[in-house]
Amino acid sequence: MLHEDRARAESFGAIAPLYDRARPTYPAPLVDSLVADGARSVLDVGCGTGIAGALFAARGCKVLGVEVDPRMAALARTKGLEVEVTAFEEWDHRGRRFDLVISAQAWHWVEPRSGAIRAACALCDGGRIGLFWNHGDPPAHVRDLLAPIYHRLAPDIENYSILLGQGDERTAETTRYLGGSGAFGEVEIRRFPWTQAYATAEWLDHLRTHSDHCALPPARLKELLEAIGGAIDSVGGSFEMPYEALLVTARVLRHPR
The 3-class SS string of the chain reads CHHHCHHHHCCHHHHHHHHHHHCCCCCHHHHHHHHCCCCCEEEEECCCCCHHHHHHHCCCCEEEEEECCHHHHHHHHCCCCEEEECCHHHCCCCCCCEEEEEEECCHHHCCHHHHHHHHHHCEEEEEEEEEEEEEECCCHHHHHHHHHHHHHHCHHHHHHCHHHCCCCHHHHHHHHHHHHCCCECCCEEEEEEEEEEEEHHHHHHHHHCCHHHHCCCHHHHHHHHHHHHHHHHCCCCEEEEEEEEEEEEEEECCCCC
The verdict on residue 9 lying in a domain is yes
Q: What is the pLDDT, as a whole number, of residue 168?
A: 64
Contact 255, 200 (CB under 8 A): no
The verdict on residue 152 lying in a domain is no
The verdict on residue 220 lying in a domain is no
Closest among 234, 214, 216 to 142, alpha carbons compared: 234
Q: How many domains does the chain have?
A: 1
Radius of gyration of the chain (CA): 18
Average pLDDT, the chain: 91
Q: pLDDT band for position 42 (50/70/90)?
A: very high
Phi and psi, residue 99, nearest 5°: -70, -30
Contact 154, 225 (CB under 8 A): no
The verdict on residue 236 lying in a domain is no
Q: Which domain holds residue 92?
A: 2-136+163-195+242-251
The verdict on residue 127 lying in a domain is yes
Q: pLDDT band for position 228 (50/70/90)?
A: very high
The verdict on residue 62 lying in a domain is yes
Q: Please, what is the Cα angle at 209 between 205 and 215, to 5 degrees?
A: 120
The verdict on residue 11 lying in a domain is yes
Q: pLDDT band for position 214 (50/70/90)?
A: confident
Assign residue 25 the CATH number of its domain.
3.40.50.150
Q: What is the pTM of this model?
A: 0.91
* pLDDT tens string 74-116: 999 999 999 999 999 999 999 999 999 999 999 999 999 999 9
Residue type, 73: A
The verdict on residue 117 lying in a domain is yes
